[in-house]
Each structure stands twice: as structure tokens, then as C-alpha cells.
Amino acid sequence: MALSEATPSRAARAPATGWLARAGLVARGVVYGVIGILALKLAFGDGGKTTSQQGALKTIAHQPFGKLLLVLLALGLAGYATWRLVRAFAGHGREDQDSFTDRIASFFSGIAYAGLAVTAVAILIGAGTSSSSGSPKQATGGVLDWTGGPLLVGIAGAILVGVGLYQAYKGLSKKFLDTSKTYEMNEAVKPVFTFLGVVGHVARGIVFALIGYGLIKAAVEYDPKKAIGLDGALRKVADASYGPILLGIVAAGFIMFAAYSIADARYRKV
């Protein structure tokens, strides 16, 4: 085996990589939990707000012991990103094999969570505090000015819609159970774990699809103001007919996805 193949393969099988994965799943769960709780409070008129993953990290930073929590989350998110990237290059872990599409998904997930870990570090050192910095509208506006920019934005939007639909399918078909050690779950745990995963993946899918739709609309209308992030997608839900009810459902779904992620830290095949 060539050195370039052996190195990621060894890393994928290393016990430390498994621990990074489990710590990362917990960190992902905490972030989604904060987003869901804030959105749920808004739905009930209790002073909450719609926010993104970055906004959730800033909210955590302002809590008692927030800096310590943010350090732990940054480490967890970095660990999750490392695990996903190792899986992308190795194609397997100690307990599971990945398909080609799984490896592609792992690569993009790893990049996204690496960026989130960097954001957590930036908040810790006092940078990245501006809410408008690096917003979807700014980023989309810059890309739209490129040659072929609208096409690129439209493709990105279509990919996100596809990701959203796949997340919903993954939840409704219970495909997420394929990567979990269901054989280690007892009769009480498995149905709860399954319910959390189904609802959580569907809620996540709805929001991803809304973000993708916003990008497609921005590309078609050549208007970066149409681009939205996670917080914008949640606001779209809140502004719809029966918005507070729908936002409450999606927020509850996010909280369930958070609980699923934390439980998956115990049962995930790594």
C-alpha cells in the first residue's frame, strides 16, 4: 500500500479518531440545541431569536462559564471536522465502510465544521463579533459579480436543496440507523433514538432546502438580498402562515436533532 493511502487508513482506524468523532457529535448537538431553544422561545413569544450556528456560538460565549464552554466546543467541532475529513480520504473507519457519496458528504461536512471551529476560536479571541460580517448576502453578492457567478450561486442553491431533500429522506426512511450500532440498544432506547433521528433529520432538511431555495432565487433575480443563512431560513418559517406554530415545530425538531446527535455519540459506528 502506498504511503499516501496508508496514512489516512491508519488515522481512520486509530482509537483517537473515534474519540474525536464522539466529542464532535456532542459539540454538534449542543450547537443545534442552542439554535432550537432560541427559536422555540421566539415561537412562544418569550424573547428568543432566530440564529445560525455562528450566532449560537456567540450566545454560548455570553453565558456563565461561556468561554470555557466555547473552548470545549471549539475542540469538539475541530475533532468532528478532523474525523469527517479523515473518513473522506480513507473511505472507512474502524467500524464502518463509506460509499463514494458518503466520502463526498464527509469532505464537505468536514470543511463546514472546520470553519465553525475557526469561528469559535475567533469569538474566543475577540474577533468575528460583527453579526453582518461574512453574511450570506455579502458572500452571494461577491460571487454574483464573477463571470458565471449567477450560475455558480444557482448550482450551490440546487445542491443545498438536494442536501435538504436527502436529509428529509434519510430521516423518513430511517437510513441514519445504518451508521448506528442499533444492536447495542435495548428495547427502550431504540424507539426513542429512532424518533429523535427521524424528526431531527426532517427539520434539518426543511431548513437546508429553504437556504438552497434562497440562493437559487438570488441567482435568478440577480439579487444577493434573497440569499439567506440558517437564521434567515428560520425567519422564513416564522413569517409564513401559522408561523409561530411552524417555527415551534422546526425548533422542536432541531432540539430533537441535538438530542439525537448526543445519543449518536454513544452509538455511532466510527
Q: Which residue has the cell 437546508?
A: 208
Take residue 75 and report the three cell numbers written for it: 475542540
Cβ of 248: how many Cβ atoms within 10 Å? Answer: 19
Are 50 and 231 within 8 A, CB to CB?
A: yes
Categorize the per-residue pLDDT at 134 as very low, low, confident or very high, splitting at 50, 70 and 90: low
pLDDT reading at 131 higher than 50: no
* Global pTM value: 0.86
Mean pLDDT of the chain: 88
pLDDT reading at 86 higher than 50: yes
Cβ of 50: how many Cβ atoms within 10 Å? Answer: 22
> What residue segments make up the domains of the chain, in order of their start?
3-267
135: left (phi over 0), alpha (psi -120 to 50) or beta: beta
Mean pLDDT is lowest, of 121-125, 200-204, 226-230, for 226-230
If you ran DSSP here, which 8-state letter would residue 241 be given?
A: T
Categorize the per-residue pLDDT at 252 as very low, low, confident or very high, splitting at 50, 70 and 90: very high
Q: In sequence order, what are the residues at sequence separation of 6 or more whose Cβ sits closer than 8 angstroms to the Cβ of residue 269?
A: 93, 95, 96, 179, 180, 181
What is the per-residue pLDDT for 1? 44
Percent of the chain with pLDDT over 70: 94
Cβ of 239: how many Cβ atoms within 10 Å? Answer: 10
Q: Which residue has the cell 440569499?
A: 227
Categorize the per-residue pLDDT at 127 as very low, low, confident or very high, splitting at 50, 70 and 90: low
| DSSP calls for 100-163 | HHHHHHHHHHHHHHHHHHHHHHHHHTT-S--TTTT-HHHHHHHHHTSTTHHHHHHHHHHHHHHH
| DSSP calls for 86-103 | HHHHHSB-SS-B--HHHH
| pLDDT tens sequence across 50-77 | 888 888 998 999 888 889 999 999 999 9
